[in-house]
Homo-oligomer: A and B are copies of this chain.
Amino acid sequence: MATGKKKKETPVILVTNDDGVMAPGIFNLIQSLQGLGKIVVVAPDKPQSGMGHAITIGSPLRLQKVVLPQEEVEAWSCSGTPVDCVKLAVDKILHRQPDLCVSGINHGANHSINVIYSGTMSAAIEASIENIPSIGFSLLDYSMEADFTAARKYARIIVEEVLKRKPDKHLCLNVNFPAVDESLINGIKICRQAYAKYEEDFDERKDPTGKKYFWLTGAFVNFDKGKDTDVWALANNYVSVVPVQFDLTNYSLKTKFEKIFKS
């Protein structure tokens, strides 16, 4: 029977990550979302940290149904990258665009320049390119035994806020949680991405045949003293939220170069 008011449909929430479908962080994210929508998980079958926005173009991809601790949730592992997971989920599993894509909860920080290297955030960015509002979540604790209690609470608050509005179709949020007890968290702070980077220092070794090889190591250095950055917010026990865009145009340099290359 047609009525003037359309019944509100249950939102479909796609869940992915870059630590792999069996990482505690993704179980905690699913737990935090209980009751907010129909959850479908499509996540890498192995750790994919540091994969950035890589896609698989030279080899085929596989999907495999898996059972998670939350047995009622439909879940798939994918042989590709986090970005592949989003693409495959939309085209071959959901056969539609989900209402929201959430990625994480990553084991380790994705603030500042990490947004560019992060598979967690690249999955979220990919969703936003495809008109799917998205949120990437990361906890500043690399341990597989990390305490996600506060992260779960704040992830749910942020997802609820986004779902109750009609989100911008290109919405993408980069959310990081400080690794402190819930009682110490000062709230949520909207931030800009800090200018920070890694000072590389490759560890040089020799293999048993005497040939050199290198391990990537390096120190994280924050060059940004602003109090409106994600690094500042996290150091001061706030949950940091940076809205992220995929238009990489540097408009101020564009104006400068238009003067140099006058047509």
Binding site for B on A (CB under 8 A): 47, 49-58, 60-63, 81, 83-84, 87-88, 90-92, 113, 115-117, 122, 125, 129-130, 161, 165, 168, 171-174, 186-193, 195, 197, 200-202, 204-205, 211-216, 238, 241-251, 253-254, 256-258, 260-261, 263
The answer to whether B52 touches A53, judged by C-beta atoms less than 8 angstroms apart, is yes
| Chain A residues touching B, majority SS | mixed
Q: Which residues of B contact A201 (CB under 8 A)?
A: 91
- Considering the complex, give the chain B residue whose CB is closest to the CB of A53: B52
Q: Which residues of B contact A50 (CB under 8 A)?
A: 54-58
Docked pose: A172 CA to B253 CA in angstroms:
9
Q: What is the copy number of this chain in the assembly?
A: 2
The answer to whether B55 touches A161, judged by C-beta atoms less than 8 angstroms apart, is no
Docked pose: A3 CA to B53 CA in angstroms:
50
Chain B nearest Cβ from A173, distance in angstroms: 8
Docked pose: A103 CA to B56 CA in angstroms:
21
The answer to whether B62 touches A258, judged by C-beta atoms less than 8 angstroms apart, is no
| Neighbour of A244 across the interface among B186, B205, B248, CB < 8 A | B248
| Neighbour of A172 across the interface among B92, B168, B250, CB < 8 A | B250
Docked pose: A51 CA to B256 CA in angstroms:
30
Docked pose: A116 CA to B216 CA in angstroms:
23
Docked pose: A193 CA to B192 CA in angstroms:
21
Q: Which residues of B contact A165 (CB under 8 A)?
A: 260
Docked pose: A118 CA to B83 CA in angstroms:
13
Chain B nearest Cβ from A77, distance in angstroms: 13
Besides A53-B122, A88-B214, 19 other CB < 8 A contacts? A51-B54, A52-B52, A52-B122, A54-B117, A55-B216, A56-B216, A60-B215, A90-B200, A92-B202, A92-B214, A125-B248, A129-B197, A190-B254, A193-B247, A193-B248, A193-B249, A241-B261, A242-B254, A244-B250
